[in-house]
Structure 1
Amino acid sequence: MTQRFIKLGEGYGDLYELFTLIEAMPERVQNLLAFHTIKNEEERTSIAAVFKPTNQGNFQPIYICLEGILKPNEDSPNVRFDAFKEISERLNQPIIELVVPPSDTYHEIELYYQQLIAVLRLNHIIK
């Protein structure tokens, strides 16, 4: 099976594109993910959706908004993450949260994505 991250971007609009993809194909959503990290001395979060593999080609996309929002915490609410939580609740799909290194610690973004795929496989989140 081929598993690949598809980066939608880091901005506000990109986040809502991810939400639209999830809401358009809720039956394909396998997992919802939040990757927490510290980048440039700031706590950031990447949100992602793992979709079920395609019937033809056995391709499994993982759509991600990379380090695009501030990490949510109890002291300061995060509207974007709260919207992600609302989708999670509507789909009855819990958000799996992981702490990972920032993407800029890798020379190439593809190496970073390969590392994340390895972590997801080791934790039996994806096959």
Structure 2
Amino acid sequence: MNQRFIELGQGFSDLYELLELAKSNAYRVNYFLCMEAMSSGGRKSMSFVLVLKKSSYGDFIPLYICREGIPVIDGKVTKRYELFEQAAKDQDKKVIHMEVRHSDTFADIELYYQYLIGILRMNRYLPPLQ
């Protein structure tokens, strides 16, 4: 089973694309994830992840991510988070929150994504390798 992160980016338009993917693939959406991380500079940020169910033509599970582009300011809820939460509510799902390490603590972004996939498998949000 192939499970892979597809990074959309870190800006406003990337979040809107993620929300559009959730809307157009509503029948495949499995989870809405919000991952919070503290950078080495002491700034806290959120990543939004959309986990889809495996495709009908193969064993591929895409994980669309807007990586660490949403700052956390004094624990306040941002408009971008509200949009993400509303997209989850529209599909009768809840946003799952996780605290993870920041990507800047890894030498390579692929190692970071392997780390996240391991966490998601351990918490049973992704199936184990077959």
TM-score, normalised to structure 2, is 0.93
The reply on whether 1:11 has 2:11 as its aligned counterpart is yes
2:110 alignment partner, SS class? helix
Q: 1:63 to 1:37 in 2, by over 3 A?
A: same
Listed one character per residue, the Cα deviations across residues 7-55 of structure 1 (whole Å, up to 9, x for unaligned) are 0000010000000000011010000101101122111000010001111
Q: Distance in 2 between matches of 1:30 and 1:77?
A: 23
Contact 1:50 1:63 in 2 (8 A): yes
Deviations 1:86-125 (A, max 9, x none): 1111111111110001001111100000010000000011
1:65 has 2:66 as partner: yes
Instruction: Measure the CA separation in 2 of the matches of 1:88 and 1:73.
Output: 24
In the alignment, the residues of structure 1 paired with residue 63 and residue 7 of structure 2 have an alpha-carbon distance, to the nearest angstrom, of: 8
Within a 5 Å distance, the mapping from 1:104-115 to structure 2 comes to 104-115=104-115
Task: Quickly say closer, same or farther: Cα 1:88–1:98, change in 2 above 3 A.
Answer: same
Q: Take 2:83 and 2:70, find their aligned partners in 1: how far apart are those partners?
A: 12
SS at match of 1:33: strand
CA distance in 2, matches of 1:79, 1:94: 17
Where in structure 1 are there 5+ consecutive unaligned residues? none
Question: How many pairs are equivalent?
Answer: 126
Q: TM-score, normalised by structure 1?
A: 0.95
Cα RMSD, aligned residues only:
1.2
Alignment of 1:13-28 (within 5 A): 13-28=13-28
Unaligned runs of 5+ in 2: none
Q: CA 1:57/1:19 → structure 2, altered by over 3 Å: closer, same or farther?
A: same
Q: Secondary structure at the match of 2:8?
A: strand
